[in-house]
C-alpha cells in the first residue's frame, strides 16, 4: 500500500499528497471524505463596450479550450453568472460536457460598467479601485468587495451541502473570485501565491483562467490560482 501511494502522488503538492493518502486509506476505515471541488472559471475575453456584452472572437476560442480541458474532469454541475460573457463561456463548457448551465445571481460581478446610467469608464474604474482598497465601501451600484465575496461564499456553502463529493464548475468574474479568496483564505496563504496579493488583486485572474478550491468540513483550500496552461494546449 505504501508503494502504491508513493507512485500515485509523486509530483503532487503536499496538500494534494495528503488528500490522496486519505482517499486511499479512509475507505479501509469505513469513512467517506466529504470534499467538494470548485473550478472557478473567469469568463473569456469580452467585447470592448459598455453594458452586458458578449464574448469576443478570441474569448470564444478561450471558452472552447477551457471546455476541452474540463472534459477530462468528473464535473457534476456547471453554474454561471447571469452576465452574458459568463453565460456564453459556460454554454461552451456545458455543451462539451453534456450538462445544462445553471444560472446563479450570486456569481455576478461586484459591479458592471453600464449598470449606473451616465457613468463614464474612468468613473467606473475609480469606483472599482475604491472598492478594492476599502472592502467595506458600498458603491452606488453593485456590492462592496466584502459583500461580493460573501455572495460567492454563500453559493459555495449551499452547493457543497447538496453535492458533498462532487466537482463543480462556476463561471464567474475576476473581481468576484478575488473578493471571495480574500474573504475565505488567510492572508499569509494568499501571500504564498503572490507577495502583494491584495494590492494587485485586479491583475491576478485573467480571462478563462481556472482557480481550483477544495471545500472540506467548512474550510476552503486554495489548490490552484488562475491557471491558464490549458489555453496553450490543443485538445
Interaxial angle between packed helices 174-184 and 145-162, expressed in degrees from 0 to 180 and rounded to the nearest 10: 80
Annotated catalytic, 43?
yes
E strand or H helix at 20 = helix 14-29
Going from the C-alpha of 144 to that of each of 80, 107, 127, 179, 181, the distances in angstroms are: 20, 14, 10, 9, 14
Q: Of these residues, 91, 109, 167, 214, which one is catalytic?
A: 109
Judge whether 132 and 81 are in contact, CB under 8 Å.
Answer: no
Q: How far apart are CA 177 and CA 151, in angstroms?
A: 10
Catalytic residue among 43, 88, 91, 173: 43
Name the residue with cell 481550483. 212
Among candidate residues 173, 127, 182, the one with its CA nearest the CA of residue 153: 182
Whether 221 is a known active-site residue: answer no
The catalytic residue positions are: 43, 109
Amino acid at each position: 500500500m505504501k508503494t502504491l501511494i508513493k507512485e500515485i502522488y509523486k509530483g503532487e503538492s503536499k496538500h494534494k499528497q495528503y488528500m490522496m493518502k486519505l482517499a486511499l486509506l479512509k475507505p479501509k476505515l469505513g469513512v467517506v471524505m466529504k470534499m467538494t471541488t470548485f473550478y472557478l472559471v473567469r469568463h473569456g475575453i469580452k467585447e470592448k463596450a459598455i453594458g452586458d456584452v458578449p464574448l469576443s472572437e478570441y474569448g470564444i476560442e478561450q471558452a472552447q479550450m477551457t471546455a476541452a480541458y474540463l472534459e477530462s474532469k468528473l464535473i457534476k454541475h456547471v453554474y454561471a453568472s447571469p452576465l452574458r460573457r459568463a453565460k456564453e463561456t459556460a454554454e461552451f463548457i456545458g455543451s462539451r460536457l453534456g450538462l445544462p448551465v445553471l444560472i446563479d445571481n450570486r456569481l455576478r460581478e461586484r459591479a458592471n460598467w453600464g449598470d449606473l446610467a451616465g457613468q463614464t469608464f474612468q468613473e467606473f474604474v475609480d469606483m472599482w479601485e475604491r472598492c478594492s482598497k476599502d472592502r467595506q465601501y458600498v458603491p452606488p451600484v453593485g456590492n462592496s468587495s466584502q459583500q461580493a465575496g460573501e455572495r460567492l461564499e454563500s453559493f459555495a456553502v449551499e452547493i457543497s451541502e447538496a453535492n458533498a463529493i462532487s466537482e463543480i464548475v462556476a463561471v464567474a468574474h475576476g473581481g468576484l473570485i478575488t473578493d471571495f479568496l480574500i474573504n475565505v483564505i488567510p492572508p499569509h496563504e494568499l501571500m504564498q501565491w503572490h507577495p502583494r496579493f491584495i494590492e494587485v488583486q485586479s491583475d491576478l485572474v485573467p480571462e478563462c483562467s481556472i482557480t481550483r478550491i477544495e471545500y472540506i468540513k467548512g474550510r476552503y483550500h486554495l489548490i490552484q490560482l488562475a491557471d491558464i496552461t490549458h489555453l496553450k494546449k490543443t485538445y
